């Protein structure tokens, strides 16, 4: 009897010691650096089981065994707390760190950037090409209703939702800038501010020039002089005057005959602002037309370096135009 009792005690202690060793080995595997060699985007779909998640992690070489995640989460009683989403796994993450990340719900933040001066048609095309956004946009929003900016999103967000966010961002930005606008400028509404800002946006890509270019157009509006802006003609030719949405670049140099193109958008033919924006202006161009530089310039022309030469008189402007033509001629050689 005593021998039997001693045997049972021995087996019991051996089981405890053996179990402890197994647990220690398993815990070491659970907490030590994993085999992942590079940053990897990992998706937990809604409804995925722990076993399915563990298998996908093993397939991605994020763990050495598909069992370590499944067993570890169950022993720690956290298997029910893994959240759906897209996660960024970093090289060497342990199984424990991966589980903590999937429990946190801190999903990977994607982003896209909309450059200033694009038409709504161009912006819709960019959004439709964004791989992490769901859905397809078929309708083109009103020109000038979207704020160019960098936007964050997570996998599964919809293109429609981001478009709405861009529209709300434009409204909020315009409200703030309108409240702090200069007095006595011939811009009578927020809608007119967007129209003029879209022209400024297309006329110069040099940030320090925006207020000066805006000042030129403000001076012309005050005097009742035609704006004579090439981008308004380009917008009309590319479909804006028919659809209220231009499709983008003309694809060639603007010709003298183009300046006679019949359209209310053609600022060479009609005085004042065109009937609508010719692009989606950024915040800085909106700010420029609502707080333009005060000066006596009425003309400007390219200087060959990306900027412009400004003139107060037509004589001075013609001299600047002659300089630009020489520069352009030399660039063709």
154 neighbors 109 (Cβ within 8 angstroms): yes
254 neighbors 238 (Cβ within 8 angstroms): no
Handedness of CA 264, 267, 269, 270 (dihedral sign): positive
Q: How far apart are CA 141 and CA 243, in angstroms?
A: 11
pLDDT in tens, the chain (333 residues): 544 444 343 334 444 444 455 445 556 778 888 899 999 999 999 999 999 999 999 999 999 888 888 887 787 777 778 899 999 999 999 989 999 999 999 999 999 999 999 999 999 999 999 988 999 999 999 999 999 999 999 998 999 999 999 999 999 999 999 999 998 899 999 999 999 999 999 999 899 999 999 999 999 999 999 999 999 999 999 876 555 566 777 778 888 899 999 999 999 999 999 999 999 999 999 999 999 999 999 999 988 888 999 999 999 999 999 888 888 777 765
First-last CA distance in the chain: 110
Domain assignments of the chain as residue spans, ordered by start: 34-108, 110-167, 184-331
Residue 146 Cα distances to 127, 172, 241, 282, angstroms? 12, 11, 19, 9
Give alpha helix (H) positions in 204-304. 210-223, 230-235, 241-243, 283-290
Q: Match 């801190």 to its residue by tokens.
A: 106
CATH number assigned to the domain covering 34-108: 3.30.1490.480
Residue 123 Cα distances to 144, 158, 222, 248, angstroms? 11, 15, 33, 10
For 85, list phi and psi in degrees, rounded to 5. Answer: 150, 180
């Amino acid at each position: 009897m005593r021998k039997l009792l001693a045997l049972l005690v021995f087996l019991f202690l051996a089981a405890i010691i053996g179990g402890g060793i197994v647990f220690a080995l398993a815990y070491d595997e659970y907490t030590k650096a994993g085999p992942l060699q590079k940053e990897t985007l990992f998706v937990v779909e809604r409804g995925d089981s722990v076993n399915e998640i563990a298998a996908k992690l093993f397939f991605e070489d994020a763990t050495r065994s598909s069992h370590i995640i499944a067993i570890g989460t169950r022993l720690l009683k956290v298997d029910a707390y893994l959240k759906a989403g897209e996660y960024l796994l970093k090289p060497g993450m342990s199984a424990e760190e991966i589980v903590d990340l999937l429990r946190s719900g801190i999903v990977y933040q994607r982003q896209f950037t909309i450059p200033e001066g694009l038409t709504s048609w161009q912006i819709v095309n960019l959004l439709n090409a964004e791989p992490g956004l769901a859905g397809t946009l078929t309708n083109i929003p009103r020109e000038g209703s979207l704020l160019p900016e960098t936007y964050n999103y997570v996998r599964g967000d919809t293109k429609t939702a981001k478009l709405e966010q861009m529209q709300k961002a434009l409204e909020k930005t315009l409200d703030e800038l309108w409240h702090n606008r200069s007095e006595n400028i011939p811009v009578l509404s927020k809608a007119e501010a967007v129209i003029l800002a879209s022209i400024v946006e297309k006329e110069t890509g040099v940030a320090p020039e925006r207020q000066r270019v805006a000042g030129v157009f403000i001076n012309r509006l005050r005097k009742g002089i035609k704006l004579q802006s090439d981008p308004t003609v380009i917008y009309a030719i590319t479909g804006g005057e028919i659809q209220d949405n231009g499709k983008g670049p003309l694809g060639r140099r603007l010709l003298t005959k183009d300046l006679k193109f019949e359209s209310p958008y053609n600022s060479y033919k009609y005085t004042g602002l065109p009937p609508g924006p010719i692009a989606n202006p950024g915040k800085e161009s909106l700010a420029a037309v609502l707080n333009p530089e005060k000066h006596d310039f009425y003309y400007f022309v390219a200087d060959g370096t990306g900027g412009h030469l400004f003139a107060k008189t037509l004589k001075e402007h013609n001299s600047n135009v002659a300089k630009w033509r020489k520069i352009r001629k030399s660039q063709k050689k």
